[in-house]
Structure 1
Amino acid sequence: MEGWKIRRPQIHSCIPLPSELCGSCTVLTGELCPWLPLTRQQQQQQHPSQRAVTQPYAVSARYAAARAERAAQAAGASAMLQAQNRKPTFTEARDIRLICPECREDPPDLVEAYSSGDLVCGSCGMVVGDRIVDTRSEWRTFANEDGDDPSRVGQATNPILDGLTESLETRISSSDGGSGLSFALQRATNRTATSNANRHILEGFDAIQNKVERMSLPRSAAEAAKQLFRRVQDEKIMRGRKTEAIIAAVLFVACKQSGTPRTFPEIMSSVSGVTKRQVVDCFKEIQATFELGQSDARPEGGAGLNITSAVDLINRFCNLLGLERIVVRSTEEIAGVIREKGFLDGRSPVTIAAACIYLTTTIWGVHRSTKRIAEATGVSPATIKGSYRDLIKVKDQILTPEIVNRSDRIDASRAVA
């Protein structure tokens, strides 16, 4: 191969990028590039390998056209497949009416007999349709109590738990011989099933329920306390506060709103690890945040957030003492007179209630010692006797003829200091 030599690739001065080298200069050749003598403008117009590069790794027009064609074909095939798989939509044919073919009464008197699964004409008794489906809830079952319950109705929806327990719950049996493995499994399940915020709310609900049962509060108070506790957590108004203090505050509010007020010492006795100041601060913050004032609209029969009076406490204390209903009503009447005339102002409602009970049981001849009343009310016997002596001083203004003449069993002369 004499006369042939290898030429090194040369970069034309008219081409700025190495990727645009002349194709003739990159192969074995014995001649010079025929395009070299051309000017820069002539090379850009006539050079077969010259291409204008607009962006890095740009696709060719042919490939772009082929890709667009394939995309259009795929979109057409997908649309055709969706059209084939689309389920037909059925609408109610309002122009078709079902009437009895026998009596042809219009409008028809059709009765759905779910017990037999028939659609019966109420006018002539003809069976117009059969095998109808009973869509009503199976609230009752008359099966044998020893057998399985065929009822498939779940429990009622609880709006307080809305969004907290959306998934199914798994319970681990605790019968593992005391090894503690089941407790660890249940704790791990609880942590993975719910988020931290929801788990904190559910734990608060359990604590509220335990305290409600311990204090023998009605269900209405428990539901009100849980609802208020969730609102506090959702609004994030008490970050950094102890959960026990928040629970005590919501219980205090719930008891008042449900018409079953409890004294502050009773609420404090149900919680632990918090001080009275912490609970009071939580109560004031709840009252200010949700605008729970004395003039609030309250549930029917509720007590709102007004200051607890002795009349609100007498009924429960008298039940603990086993007093008759007529004695209870008389005690409430005496407490109302004392509040109206301002006697024992400055004393706590619990003290006033205890003193009224002691005065009423005395004039009715129903013996209840100060020690027994103190056990029921939580007031010391000395405080009860001191308030009782103050009432004796104004006995004539309290024991009005309307109160004394209500029963022959009442004797005002029994009330002595």
Structure 2
Amino acid sequence: EWRTFANDEGGDDPSRVGAASNPLLNGNQLETMISGQDGGSGRARELAKAQSRSAQNKNDRNLLSAYKDIGSMGDAIGLTKIVCDTARQIYKKVDDNKALKGKSHESIIAACIFIACRQCHVPRTFKEICALTRVPKKEIGRVFKTLEKMLNDEPVPQSSNELQYQSSGSTNAQDLMVRFCNRLGLPPFIQAWSADLVKSAADLGTLAGRSPISIAAAGIFFVSAMCKVPKTGKDIAEVAGVSDGTIRNAYKLLYQDREKLVKQEWLANGRGNLVSRLILLY
């Protein structure tokens, strides 16, 4: 809170009293802080606990609990602070609009994290969010659809501090490439070539109807095999969360269009060996 006092020159001297307000909480947040200096009697700690219970309303306690859960889950899968803060802003909007009454606390948090990852261009799959939150995929999907509609229907924010939702559509295979390749310890050129490969495959319709996860995994498998990088289908399947068989079936379709998909410069620099390696995997 800002208070204005007169200074020696007769002008106004605005000074802050207390901490800045938190836009993610409700109320005026003008709580009194209890000093910890009590001569070792322990009374200050008891007073602080009592004051905390009375000052924070129930709604703010619920919000703080949700924000803590979002932070813990974000840490578990390596999300940055900006992603977690975005998820918290989305959760606050849900709370303000009372849009998801009857939905579980866990499913709302799961959907908020899923959308925040998309908004910050570090998408996670439904499977990954399911594993993180232990919320069934169908339940996350239902909450996600309701939440996305709510965010799309919101008016344009009046403040730059407010979250402006941008519908990003479904996750594509290229979005998943960097993370999968990093977890596999693959060099940057493998990730770049894999992204180029699946983009060309999308233009040709080679893997039409396949999920982005399967497409990303098959693209990495194809390029790593072509470049004789020792990554098995099982290695990639474990990181991507799909079966080895799913990857190999998609790989076979890529193999059929190999002459159209593989760029000649990949072979010219000696890193790629199209025929002798790929044909053994078919």
**Is the structural similarity TM-score above 0.5?**
yes
Cα 1:262–1:88 shift into 2, 3 Å:
closer
The structure where helix makes up a greater share of residues is 2
Question: In structure 1, which of residues 309, 321, 329 is the aligned counterpart of residue 192 of structure 2?
Answer: 329
Cα 1:91–1:286 shift into 2, 3 Å:
same
Residue type at the aligned position of 2:216: A
> What pairs with 1:107-126 in structure 2 (closer than 5 Å)?
none
Q: Report what 1:261 is aligned to.
A: 123
Tell me the CA shift for residue 240 of structure 1.
1.6
Residue by residue over 1:270-307, the C-alpha shift from the partner in whole angstroms, topping out at 9 and shown as x without a partner, is 113x43332222111111112079xxxxxxxx985221
Query: How many Å separate the matches in 2 of 1:263 and 1:171?
Result: 47
Is the 1:256–1:303 Cα contact (8 Å) retained in structure 2? no
Question: In structure 2, which of residues 61, 64, 67 is the aligned counterpart of residue 202 of structure 1?
Answer: 64
Query: How many Å separate the matches in 1 of 2:81 and 2:53?
Result: 28
Tell me the CA shift for residue 315 of structure 1.
0.5
**TM, length-normalised to structure 1:** 0.54
Question: In structure 1, which of residues 283, 289, 302 is the aligned counterpart of residue 150 of structure 2?
Answer: 289
Q: Report what 1:230 is aligned to.
A: 92
Is the 1:164–1:198 Cα contact (8 Å) retained in structure 2? no
Query: How many Å separate the matches in 2 of 1:349 and 1:387?
Result: 11
Q: In structure 1, list runs of 5 or more residues that go unmatched.
A: 1-86, 93-153, 173-181, 294-301
2:227 is aligned with 1:364: yes
Greater alpha carbon shift after TM alignment, 333-342 vs 226-235: 333-342
Cα 1:90–1:190 shift into 2, 3 Å:
closer
Cα 1:362–1:164 shift into 2, 3 Å:
farther
Query: How many Å separate the matches in 1 of 2:20 and 2:191?
Result: 38
Tell me the CA shift for residue 328 of structure 1.
1.5
Q: Report what 2:15 is aligned to.
A: none
Paired-residue identity, %: 30
Q: In structure 2, list runs of 5 or more residues that go unmatched.
A: 1-5, 12-17, 37-44, 155-164
Residue type at the aligned position of 1:246: I
Q: Report what 1:4 is aligned to.
A: none
Cα 1:395–1:210 shift into 2, 3 Å:
same
Q: Report what 1:348 is aligned to.
A: 211
Tell me the CA shift for residue 336 of structure 1.
1.4
Cα 1:90–1:245 shift into 2, 3 Å:
same
Cα 1:326–1:185 shift into 2, 3 Å:
farther
Query: How many Å separate the matches in 1 of 2:252 and 2:201?
Result: 14
Is the 2:190–2:220 Cα contact (8 Å) retained in structure 1? no
> What pairs with 1:403-414 in structure 2 (closer than 5 Å)?
403-405=266-268, 407-413=269-275, 414=277
Cα 1:188–1:310 shift into 2, 3 Å:
farther
Query: How many Å separate the matches in 2 of 1:159 and 1:367?
Result: 50
Tell me the CA shift for residue 156 of structure 1.
8.0
Residue type at the aligned position of 2:143: C
Q: What is the count of residue pairs matched by the alignment?
A: 252
Cα 1:388–1:257 shift into 2, 3 Å:
same
Relative CO higher for 1 or 2, CA cutoff 8 Å, sep ≥ 6? Answer: 2
Is the 1:253–1:305 Cα contact (8 Å) retained in structure 2? no
Residue type at the aligned position of 1:236: K
Tell me the CA shift for residue 187 of structure 1.
8.1
Is the 1:268–1:276 Cα contact (8 Å) retained in structure 2? yes
Is the 2:25–2:63 Cα contact (8 Å) retained in structure 1? no
Tell me the CA shift for residue 160 of structure 1.
3.2
2:266 is aligned with 1:393: no
**TM, length-normalised to structure 2:** 0.79
Tell me the CA shift for residue 165 of structure 1.
5.0
Residue by residue over 1:61-114, the C-alpha shift from the partner in whole angstroms, topping out at 9 and shown as x without a partner, is xxxxxxxxxxxxxxxxxxxxxxxxxx999645xxxxxxxxxxxxxxxxxxxxxx
Cα 1:408–1:202 shift into 2, 3 Å:
same
Cα 1:369–1:159 shift into 2, 3 Å:
same
Instruction: Tell me the secondary structure at the aligned position of residue 133 of structure 2.
Output: coil
Query: How many Å separate the matches in 1 of 2:196 and 2:150?
Result: 36
